[in-house]
Amino acid sequence: MLVAVLAGLGLMRLKQPPLVGFILAGVLLGPSGLGVVSTSDENVTMLAEMGVLMLLFFIGMELSLKAFVATLKPAVKIAGGQLAAAMAITFGLKLISNATLAEAIILGFIIALSSTVVAMKMLEDIGELRTEPGRIAVGVLIAQDLAVVPMLIISTSLGGTEKVDWVSLVMKIVVAVAVLAGLLWYLGRRPKLKPSFAAAIEDNVEILALGSLAFCFAAASISGLVGLSPAYGAFIAGLVVGASTLRSPVIHVVEPIQSILLVVFFLSIGLLIDLDYIVDNWGLVLIAAIVVVLAKTFLNVLLIRLAGLPHKTAVEAGLSMAQIGEFSFVLAAAAFASGAIGTDVYRLALAVTAITLLVSPAWMALTRRLEGEARFGYHEFREALAEIYEGQVETVEDLGFWLRVRGRALRRAFRRRRALRAVARRDKTEAHDKVALERPPDRDSAGE
């Protein structure tokens, strides 16, 4: 914690998000650095997973149900587009490399996923988590979370001998979607839930904190036991608490616990960064990380724009999901354990995932700043026009409309003027020729 705080403060002094410092603290403490903490440390792994669950629980509590329902349809389309684009990229790479079919499919799954933790933290830092970009990003990430279950089953089956039970798989997904849809419909049609014990515990910090953690992890455990993602269960628990009268007091007592567990999660990412492998294969890792971040940024913004959402929403939400997600670590580990991918592909996937998570906050800050500067001149020009023509037009849009109308009128006037001049020149020429024909012949010419 001490190293994480110092690294976070150092990054804040450099005008960078502190979570980058938390990841770097993990690199420093991990096997590639001082070797204080091992990547196989079960305590770190467990706390990191608890941090992810607490984040989903917290997001569920803070969501506006009506706004979330409104964003579900475009979010599912965007998530589907992300998966299709990732598969197209990896299958294209398969044609020009020695990758197997299983490796192409699994790498497509890994690239398609984005990090819920990093995306939500970045949107919160810029104040967009509770606005439209945040709602769209949450919807897409929940859709991705539902897709993790079939991805995990397919990834392990590609390297094993057991046959995939597709009927059971489809049933699990249908049940998960039905439960979420039914819960949203039920909670959206009734007033706030008021448990009978609410009045007795709303001022008791210890019971609120312990009860909230118990409810979150119980729902996550049940979701995992039935074959779904534990994160899905934590999100469902958050939706229920968020629709109750205990929402505000629970948020206040849970937020500090969630923050501490999230720091451990970022530290665990730093532990997975193998500096020796990155140094030995720096060219391949660097190119792969750059291509992934740029491709995901472009595709995310394009898909969100195609879903009919405004440019600002597309940029903010698209940049927040430009990294590879934490569940990609789980997919890569499961596929490697089953023999579906080799050691080199596994180490490359871990390195690229960790690097994209590390650079994602800085990439978002840089891109937003560059775009803001690019649009600055345009906005300043509009404001100047509005000030100059104040009193003649009410808004800049009115001014633009007035200028377009006046421009069309001027163009018509110029065309008429050119036509009149052409007619006048023609008439002048005809009149001159007529006078020349009617003029008496010159005497010298007549004598000749």
Report the CATH number at residue 320: 1.20.1530.20
Domain co-membership, 134 together with 51: yes
Domain co-membership, 281 together with 400: no
Among 179, 178, 172, which residue's Cα sits nearest to residue 229? 172
Domain co-membership, 335 together with 405: no
Count of other CB atoms within 10 angstroms of residue 68: 19
Q: What is the DSSP letter of 441?
A: P
Domain co-membership, 108 together with 255: yes
The residues that bridge with 390 in the sheet, in sequence order, are 393
Which string of b and e fits 103-119 if b means at least 16 CB within 10 Å? bbbbbbbbbbbbbbbbb
Q: Which two tokens stand for residue 241?
A: 């608490």
35: left (phi over 0), alpha (psi -120 to 50) or beta: left
Residue 279 domain-assigned? yes
Q: Which of 352, 380, 408 is the last residue of a domain?
A: 380
Cα→Cα distances 263→133, 169, 248, 273, 364, Å: 24, 34, 23, 16, 20
Instruction: Answer yes or no: pTM beyond 0.85.
Output: no
Q: Which of 335, 356, 380 is the last residue of a domain?
A: 380
Q: What does the alpha-carbon distance between residue 412 and residue 400 come to, in Å, rounded to a whole number?
A: 18
- At 293 the pLDDT is 93
Residue 207 domain-assigned? yes
Residue 58 domain-assigned? yes
Residue 8 domain-assigned? no
Distance separating the N- and C-terminal Cα atoms of the chain? 119
Domain co-membership, 370 together with 403: no
Domain co-membership, 359 together with 426: no
Count the domains in the chain: 2
- At 82 the pLDDT is 92
Which stretches in the chain have pLDDT values below 70?
Answer: 39-41, 160-166, 372-415, 417-419, 422-448
Domain co-membership, 277 together with 410: no
Domain co-membership, 46 together with 76: yes
Q: Which two tokens stand for residue 445?
A: 């010419």
Residue 224 domain-assigned? yes
Contact 294, 371 (CB under 8 A): no
Among 216, 247, 214, 266, which residue's Cα sits nearest to residue 24? 266
- At 441 the pLDDT is 52
Range of the domain at 345: 41-380
Domain co-membership, 283 together with 423: no
- At 444 the pLDDT is 47
Contact 276, 32 (CB under 8 A): yes
- Strand, coil or helix: what is 129? coil
Domain co-membership, 302 together with 414: no
Domain co-membership, 272 together with 400: no
Residue 277's H or E segment, with its range, is helix 275-280
- At 267 the pLDDT is 86
Q: Which two tokens stand for residue 188?
A: 């959206």
Q: What does the alpha-carbon distance between residue 355 and residue 358 come to, in Å, rounded to a whole number?
A: 5
> ∠ CA 165-167-168 to the nearest 5 degrees?
70
Q: What is the DSSP letter of 131?
A: S
Give tens-digit pLDDT for 377-436.
545 555 554 555 555 544 444 545 555 555 566 566 666 766 677 666 666 666 655 555
Helix axes 65-95, 101-112, angle to 10 degrees: 150
- At 337 the pLDDT is 80
Q: What does the alpha-carbon distance between residue 179 and residue 176 come to, in Å, rounded to a whole number?
A: 5
Among 253, 171, 184, 179, which residue's Cα sits nearest to residue 212? 253
Residue 17 domain-assigned? no
Q: What is the DSSP letter of 229?
A: -
Domain co-membership, 315 together with 409: no
Residue 286 domain-assigned? yes
- At 443 the pLDDT is 47
Q: Which two tokens stand for residue 127?
A: 């104040």
- At 408 the pLDDT is 61
Q: Which two tokens stand for residue 19?
A: 């979570």
Q: Which of 380, 409, 424 is the last residue of a domain?
A: 380
Count of other CB atoms within 10 angstroms of residue 421: 10
Q: What does the alpha-carbon distance between residue 156 and residue 154 come to, in Å, rounded to a whole number?
A: 6
Residue 198 domain-assigned? yes
> ∠ CA 184-185-186 to the nearest 5 degrees?
95
